[in-house]
Structure 1
Amino acid sequence: MADPAAKRAGTGALQLPPSDAVGCVLAAYQVQPGDTIFNVAQRFSIPAARLRAANEPFVVDDDIFAGQVLRVPLREPMLPFRPEGLIYFVAGPGDTLSTVADRFDLPLNAVTAVNPGLDRLRPGTVVLVPSVEEPADLPLPPQLYVARPGDTLADIADDFGIPLEQLRATNPSVTGDPVLAGQVLVVPLPDRPADGGLGRARYVIQPGDTLSSIARQFGTSLSLLQQANVFLAPIPGLVIAIPRQVPVPQPPGVPEGFPSCVSAPFGERLDLGDDDSVFVPFPPGLDFRLFGRPAGDGVFVNANGNLTFGAGDPAFIPTTDAFLEGPPRIAGLWSDLLPVPDVTPGGVFVRTVEDEALGGPRLVITWDRVPYFFAQDVPQTFQISLNPDDTISICYFQVDPVAAEGQRILVGVAGGSADPRGNAFLFDGDANPRRLGPNDEPTPPDGLTGRSLLYVFDEDLGNYRMIFSSP
């Protein structure tokens, strides 16, 4: 009787690589109408003989057909110099130094000690591991299967000889038993624990797709898409993993007397590039005053986490001189941020909110899941509200100043060169901010996430009072 897994392999399963291919980078490719072994090999810039060898014994006499999934051996990983007593481990999706240490039953500091400077792992990252006997339960690569017309989950589970519940667990996006033709499923190996990372959706790139359009379609970012795939290119038929969406953080609660934080949707997305500025007029009815003086007819929104009045300022390195001597400024999280669409599923948004309690409209600007330029997998969400009572409120949904080690982050309000007053604090690459301005007000000891900040102008002081909420 024919092996059921082998039967399926001829119509859509991506089988395990042969033993001599372990360590090479493999891509899954769904054969398109008109494809041949030669043009697929040419598309990926590899020899046709290597493509044939990677798909034996399921490709005979170069006979392939539309819908079949081929494994494409792309390249051998570049391995670093290996000191004596260490072995190589190539990280897969979802791996961290902690999971690698657990896999080899080692303390985490034993792995970090031999990998200095290695913090975040990407699929394909080579990790050095102190030499131990390889555990017998190392997880093996999954099989991918492209559903054919008439397939059901029960049929596929039966053909591969695995429990239906296990197949469902590794494909949570499939809600019913019938499966759409062309849908890519993850088939777990028998007697192996399901890896949570296998629950990612898979997508077969279509003609006309771009990587940016795929990221937008699935509500993710290009950088996260790249992290989820060892190989990524806009090749029709290429099977790629879709990272889980980065959810919009919940707004922090506010105490009595604070304006409320505005939840998503955040309004109109501003067309801001890296280190860019755009002018936003005040809505009718908002006559905002800064330091007790009229602030004009609008505000410049700067990509790098701050607002300025009179002129835009794309500066990405916050300094006390620029803060006090530049244009009047409100800094929610002034740092080198990157709000471009290819990097973040969010962006910078503007919205007018009518507030009866404050007696008029508020202008609310939100940085939604915008990463640092220097740490593009660390998204920041915060918003600045210019209020009709001339207060300034800032809501910190999710921010991570500590992740910016070696970088400066400034939060505060300044009158600019014509009025050298200000009230702010500055992070210099650690969690202990330095104060600029009145020193009788504490700064938050436990970070900004989940807090609100209210600036109230004190005419007697001639400066703003800074009031923090508790997280």
Structure 2
Amino acid sequence: MTVSENTQYVYTVQPSDTLYSIARRFGSTVAAIEQANSLYPPFTDPGSIFPGQLLIIPGGRFGFQNEVYYVASPSDTLFSIAQRFSVSTDLLFGINSQIADPNFIYSNQVIRVPAFIYEVSSGDSLSRISSQTGVSLEKIIRANERRAGFSPELLYLGYRLLMPLPASRNILVLHPLPGDVLQSGGLIQGMARAFEANVLYSILDTQGNVVSKEKSITARAAGPEYAEFSTNAQFELKPSTPTGELRVYTRSANDGSIQDLVRVKVRFEE
């Protein structure tokens, strides 16, 4: 699995744009944008872009590694962006402290989105990528609608796909990424809106064996704020299968039932 590990932007082409002007704006290059979006013959004429197309812009001047930012267009709302990435508006608002009002965003506002970028390798198909990562075909297709160069039937080598991160209304898992290797001592990280800041995790292999019993993680702040949480995975049992599932969730203060369950498909071996 090839994951692009630099800052990426999701940008809607405007009528006056050229690849050169977009590259200069985001500190990228024309060649990098063309590769990420398959903007080259025989798929399209060189440098050919159209208003309304969505582009992945690799590189960039702002943010941190592995983060994806969406540049709002005039027609966007926080709700429409949340829909694209299969998350609640609450969560999208909660991980963007710079947004004062969830009912108002402005054109060109830069919004962090719960996604990562998958770089297409030889032999990849959407169904294979979905199987490897556990991210449904429906979610992958929805995230990439209106993308330049995107076709559900045919992917080109080096094309960069928008992949939604696993989330519920109140929990977002940032690490491990879907399909990543998770070993004992490996990082578990995310953001949560949790009562008394208490987040829980457990790990199972695909046979249903408990690799890691339920353990608690304390987020940096309690709800109603969305706050970061992180810990290192602790395995009690050696996995009996090469793949499994990380589960991150909370429990009801009333009856102890599991709430806001997020499932992340993981591998245990390289």
Smaller-chain TM-score bracket: 0.3 to 0.5
TM-score (norm 1): 0.22
Greater relative contact order (CA < 8 Å, ≥ 6 in sequence): 2
TM-score (norm 2): 0.33
Larger Rg: 1
